[in-house]
């Protein structure tokens, strides 16, 4: 099945800093999502982005499907951005959404 | 629009006991998923329903886990008997129609098996 790798595994930022999280995948995708898991365990859908670029406030994401990677940008980070960010992908040959191992983001005040 | 609902939010049981979780997906969503998330890992799919039929249950430990979605709306996941290694968060998600659509997750049920 498809392999999904995320980097970095851990990231510590000062409030106000910008960051880029990366997701590499091993096959062409027809579903790629970014999620934020907050400290209470809730998985919140950030972007559905199998290709192209999307923006939502301080967050934006870009997927370059031909090169098999996706990037999540967080600008002017806030303490409420802390948590684990997951990338998940599905390729046509698979029967399920495969999650990466996540990036643990800590934003310090 | 209401999100995915799950109950209970927390459950503590002793090993060899049974437990059941309930999920109500977003209205109109045909596809429902149950995931298991062990601390420090990403969610792992246990079972996927399309309406009231099972699409994928290849990673469901069928000797102890069972799930149903009888009327194609809400669903229950049961563990009987529970083992220590079943301690995890059980997440329910739904999508409009199939795995290529956006998945929306419920708040999860945190299970502790003592």
Task: Please tell me the total count of domains within chain B.
Answer: 1
Residue B37 lies in a domain: yes
Nearest Cβ partner of B91 from A33, A43, A96? A43
Residues of B with Cβ-Cβ distance to A102 under 8 angstroms: 42
| pLDDT tens column, B58-86 | 999 999 999 999 888 999 999 999 999 99
State whether residue A1 sits within 8 Å of chain B by CB.
no
Which pLDDT belongs to residue B1? 65
Residue B56 included in any domain = yes
**Domain carrying residue B22:** 5-97
Average pLDDT over residues B9-26: 97
**Residue B64: inside a domain:** yes
Question: Could you say which residues from 35 to 74 on chain A have a Cβ atom under 8 Å away from some Cβ of chain B?
Answer: 35, 40-45, 48
Pick A41's closest partner by Cβ from B45, B103, B108.
Answer: B108
Q: What is the pLDDT along chain A (109 residues), one digit of tens a residue?
A: 889 999 999 999 999 999 999 999 998 888 899 999 988 888 999 999 999 999 999 999 999 999 999 999 999 999 999 999 999 999 876 778 899 999 999 999 9
pLDDT tens digit string along B87-111?
Answer: 999 999 999 988 888 899 999 999 9
With CB atoms and an 8 Å threshold, state whether A45 touches B43: no
- Cβ atoms of residues A81 and A20 within 8 Å: no
Closest CA to B84 of B113, B62, B56: B113
Residue B102 lies in a domain: no
Residue B60 lies in a domain: yes
- Tokens 């643990």, residue? A104
Rounded distance between C-alpha atoms, residue A103 and residue A83, angstroms: 8
Domain assignment present for residue B104? The answer is no
Average pLDDT over all residues of chain B: 94
Query: Does the residue B72 lie in any domain?
Result: yes
B48 CB neighbours in chain A (<8 A) are 95-96
DSSP designation for A42: -
pLDDT of residue A30: 85
Across the interface, of B42, B101, B102, the residue whose CB is closest to A99 is: B42
For B31-87, give the DSSP string: EEEEEEE-TTS--EEEEEEETTEEEE-TTS-TTTEEEE-TTSS-EEEEESS--GGG-
B105 lies in some domain: no
Give which of A46, A96, A98, A102 to mutate to test B binding, by max B Cβ within 10 Å. A96
Question: Which domains does chain A possess?
Answer: 4-108 (2.60.40.10)
CATH number of the domain encompassing residue B35: 2.60.40.10
């Amino acid at each position: 099945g498809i392999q999904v790798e995320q980097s970095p595994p851990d990231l510590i930022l000062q409030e106000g800093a910008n960051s880029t999280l990366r997701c590499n995948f091993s096959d062409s995708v027809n579903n790629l999502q970014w999620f934020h898991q907050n400290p209470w365990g809730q998985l919140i859908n950030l972007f559905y982005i199998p290709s192209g670029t999307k923006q939502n406030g301080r967050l934006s994401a870009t997927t370059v499907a031909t090169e098999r990677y996706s990037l999540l940008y967080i600008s002017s980070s806030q303490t409420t951005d802390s948590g684990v960010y997951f990338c998940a992908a599905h390729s046509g040959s698979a029967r399920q959404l495969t999650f990466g191992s996540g990036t643990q983001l800590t934003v310090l005040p | 629009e209401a999100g995915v609902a799950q109950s209970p939010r927390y459950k503590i049981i002793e090993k060899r006991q049974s437990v059941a979780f309930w999920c109500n997906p977003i209205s109109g969503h045909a596809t429902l998923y149950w995931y298991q998330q062990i601390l420090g890992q990403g969610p792992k799919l246990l079972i996927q329903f399309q309406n009231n039929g099972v699409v994928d249950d290849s990673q469901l430990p069928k000797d102890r886990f069972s799930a149903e979605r009888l009327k194609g709306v809400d669903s229950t996941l049961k563990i009987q008997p529970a083992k220590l290694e079943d301690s995890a968060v059980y997440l329910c998600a739904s999508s409009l129609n199939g795995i290529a659509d956006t998945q929306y997750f419920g708040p999860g049920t945190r299970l502790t098996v003592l």
